Amino acid sequence: MSRSGEDAQGSGHRGAGIRGEARGSAPVPLSVLDLVNVGEGYTASDALAASTRQAALADARGFTRYWIAEHHSMPGVASSSPAVILAHLASHTNRVRLGSGGVMLPNHAPLVIAEQFGTLEALAPGRIDLGLGRAPGTDGATAAALRRTERLREGAEDFPQQLAELIRFLDDDFPQGHRYARIHAVPGPVQAQGAEARAAAHRPPVWLLGSSGFSAQLAGQLGLPFAFAHHFSAANTLPALDLYREAFRPSAVLDEPYALIGAAALAADDEKEAYRQVLTGALSMVRLRTGRPGLIPTPEEAEAHPFSPVERDFVDSWLGNVTYGTPDAVREGLDALVKRTGADELMLTANAHAPEARVRSLELIADAYALPAA
C-alpha cells in the first residue's frame, strides 16, 4: 500500500469520514447493509425501488452509512453492481454515507474500481465509502466467468498487491518509472490544480471487510477501518476483532482501531410477523447452501416447507444469529451485541421476502432508538 496506508484516506483529521455518530439512544452509530433482496412475486425493479425508499429513510433518520453488497448469480439478490446502485442512491439522499459492503476486489481490475468510486465521489463529494473484500461473492464457476480466468486470485499474496495498486490509483502516486506512472484514474487527483489542491483532494475512505482473520490483521497492520461479517460468521467475530485490535498500528487514517460489525436484524409490528419474514431468509439460505439458489420464498412457502433434520438444524443455527421480533426486543438484542463485542458501529441487514418488510423494519428500529424524526 502506498505510504504504508499513512495518507491513503485523503485529507482531514484522523478518523474523518470514518467514525460515525451515535444518535438518539443508540449505544453506537447505526448503519445499513443492503443486499437488495428479490422475493417471489416481486421483480428486481420492486427490490431496487424499496432500497431507494430505505436509503432515503436512513438518510432522514440519521443512520451513518448505507452500503450495498456485491453478489453474483443469485436470483434472490439484485446487488451485482454496487457502483451503479450507489450512483442512483446518491441522487435520492443528502447526508448518509454511501458505500460498498463490499466490492469484491479480485473480481475487478483495480483501475476500474478507482474510476467507479472516483466518479461516485464526484457525484456525492465527501459521502462515499469504498469497502473491499477478497471473496468472490459467488460460486467458483461464476467467479471464473467474471474474471475470465480459472485462477481465482484472492490469496494472501494477491489481495494485498491488488489493494496497494488500487490505492495508488486512488492517490495518483505511482512512483516514477512504474509501468502505471502515466496512467490516471479519472475522476481523481490528477484533475486538481496545483500541489496543494492535489494534497487536499478528497477521495473515498477505504475499509477492509472480512469474515475471518486475514483481513482483520491486514486492516490492523495498515491502520484502516475494519468491517466484520458477524451476520454470517458469528463464531469468528470475537477472534477477528481481537486480531484487528492487536494488529492495529496508528496511521494518518486512524489513531485507534475502528470496527463495525454486520448484524442481521428485523423488527416488525408483532413477533409472529417478524418470524415469518426471517424464516423466508433462512429457507433461502438453505437452498443457496445446497446449490439451489432462487428468489426469496414467501412466508407461506417457508412455513409449509418440510425441513429435514439437517435443514432444521441449519435454520435454527442461522436464526440464532438473527435479532428479530418487536422493536423493543430488537433494540435489546442489538444493545447486548454491542456489549458482547465492543463494536464501534452496527451495520444492520435484513433478508426478507417482502420489500416493504425491510423498509418497515428500519423505520421501527429508528423509532426504538428515538433517532431524529424525518
The string of pLDDT tens digits covering residues 178-226 is 999 999 999 999 998 766 556 556 789 999 999 989 999 999 999 999 9
| pTM (global) more than 0.85 | yes
Q: What is the mean pLDDT of residues 270-289?
A: 95
Closest CA to 273 of 168, 214, 184, 352: 352
Task: Name the architecture of domain 30-276+323-369.
Answer: Alpha-Beta Barrel (3.20)
Q: Is 47 helix (H, G, I), strand (E, B) or coil?
A: helix
- 304-314 CB burial, b ≥16 within 10 A, e <16: ebebeeebeeb
Strand partners, 33: 67
Considering only 127-131, 157-161, 309-313, which range has the smallest mean pLDDT?
157-161
Q: Looking at residue 68, what is its pLDDT?
A: 97
Give the residue, 287 or 150, on which the prediction is more confident. 287
Parallel, antiparallel, or unpaired for β 206-210 and 259-267?
unpaired
Burial 231-254 (b: 16+ CB within 10 A, else e): bebbebbeebbebbeebbeebbbb
Q: Average pLDDT, stretch 275-283?
A: 96
On the question of pLDDT at 284 being above 70, the answer is yes
Residue pair 39/295 in contact (Cβ under 8 Å)? The answer is yes
Confidence of residue 143 (pLDDT cuts 50, 70, 90): low
| CA distance to 42, 200, 282, 322, per residue, from 54 (Å) | 17, 33, 22, 20
pLDDT (tens digit, 9 = 90+) per residue, 255-277?
999 999 999 999 999 999 999 99
| DSSP alpha helix (H) spans, the chain | 44-60, 82-90, 110-123, 140-147, 158-171, 195-200, 213-222, 237-247, 271-289, 299-304, 309-319, 327-341, 355-368
CA distance 218 to 62: 30
> Which range has highest mean pLDDT (22-31, 66-75, 247-256)?
22-31
With a cut of 80, say whether residue 348 has pLDDT above it.
Answer: yes
Q: DSSP alpha helices (H): ranges in 61-109? A: 82-90
Domain ranges within the chain, ordered by starting residue: 30-276+323-369
CA distance 360 to 304: 25
Average pLDDT taken over every residue of the chain: 90
Grid coordinates belonging to 308: 429435514
* pLDDT at 12 (0 to 100): 43
